[in-house]
Amino acid sequence: MPAHLSARICSNRAMEAVEDVRATPDARARAATIAAGRGLVLVGIVLLAFCVNTAVRLPCRDVCGSDMARLYESRGIDRDHAPFFDRDLEYPPLVGLVMYAAGVPFDGSLRASFLLNALVLASLAALVTWALWRRYGNRTKRWVFSPPLLIESLTNWDLLSVAPATIGLLRWEAGAAFWAGVLIGVGAGAKLFPALYVPILAASCVPLRAWRRLRDVVVGAALGVGVIAIPVYLAVPDALDFFLTFHGRRNPTWGTIWFYLLRDPAMHPWLPVGRLADIGTVITAVLVVGALVVLVLQTAKGRLDPLCACGLATIAFILASKVYSPQYDLWLVPFLVMLPVRTKLVVHFYASSLLVFILSAGISHVIDTPAFLYLMGAAVVYRFVMLVLLARDFVTTFVPAPADVVE
């Protein structure tokens, strides 16, 4: 650590210690009340944003731009036809279970089912807001006012994964390795990306020889995902096969960098169309696995903070994915609170995320190809560059604190 940075941190901690000594119980109580009030204001802003987001979508019969309504109809899911058991569904088990539970009371009603799903996700967003506020204070505004949360979070069920994974990482920081693992495992039961965090957190125990902590996080994660996934896949083995086959057959989409790298200047694929899906799958798998191996090794050697490594793994997953979906950017937003990256980069990332979302959601119906693809390609490159710069900032600006491990 640079000497000037170390001195600054020591000075700040000394000042905080002096202030804590001088503060009277009444002053501390008032400060706590004020802080709680500010946190509740942020929670209220998030809930209000979800109400507005919901109201904007409801005029459409299938709830404009949200999978949380139209998929009931397109996948044939209703009270008598449960996902996985009676209908194929391309998501991990937790999404299917929540989707079915929200649809049962309103059999066949797209709007009503959407409203119940939105209520669940809004509650999770509020919970994350409060948890981040308690730990990181004002930096929580990066979560509260982020376009991926305010605008894109009702596109799909990703908050079912983001919320437990984020709170799980907070529990890890607090020393509760087992419950951190459980929550991260639950998150992986909805979307796969939190599964990347488990080997990283386990590797961070190696330099400290914290074997009990390693065991707790791995066992907790196995229980968290196993309780959700194992019963479903044991009862319906074909559900796992459909999940793998469905995603394996998807071609790179126009919100990813791979869509453009696999095309010539006229936007025609320079490879056989029938091979695009397989090539995209190989690219995604190789890059994600390769990045994870590097991050685990660096963490195990004590050269990378585990929270930073988890953020880098999330960026690697987003960049390597052959499929773009707007809510993927939401996966990264908690790390922009938990890691002190530059505000300028955060703003640029949000701008690029919103630009790609707007182009993919609306402009594609106005501008013909290939003009649209050139415009979209420029936005995708902008977002790609910002993700790379954020990754660099994760490494260079985060100063890990000494870990207190209790065996």
pLDDT, tens only, 342-378: 999 999 999 999 999 999 887 666 676 788 899 999 9
Express each pLDDT in 32-65 by its tens digit: 677 778 999 999 999 999 999 999 999 888 888 8
Whole-model pTM: value is 0.89
Q: Which residues of the chain are under the pLDDT cut of 70? A: 1-23, 31-32, 363-366, 368, 397-407
At residue 349, the pLDDT reads 97
Burial of 171 (0-12, 13-18, 19+ CB in 10 A): buried
46-61 burial code (b ≥16 CB/10 A, e <16): beebbeebbeebbeee
Mean pLDDT for the chain overall: 89
Separation in Å, CA 361 to CA 155, 262, 326, 365: 11, 22, 9, 8
Residue 342's CB: how many other CB atoms inside 10 A? 13
Tokens 């009270």 belong to: 79
At residue 36, the pLDDT reads 79
Q: What are residue 78's DSSP bridge partners?
A: 81
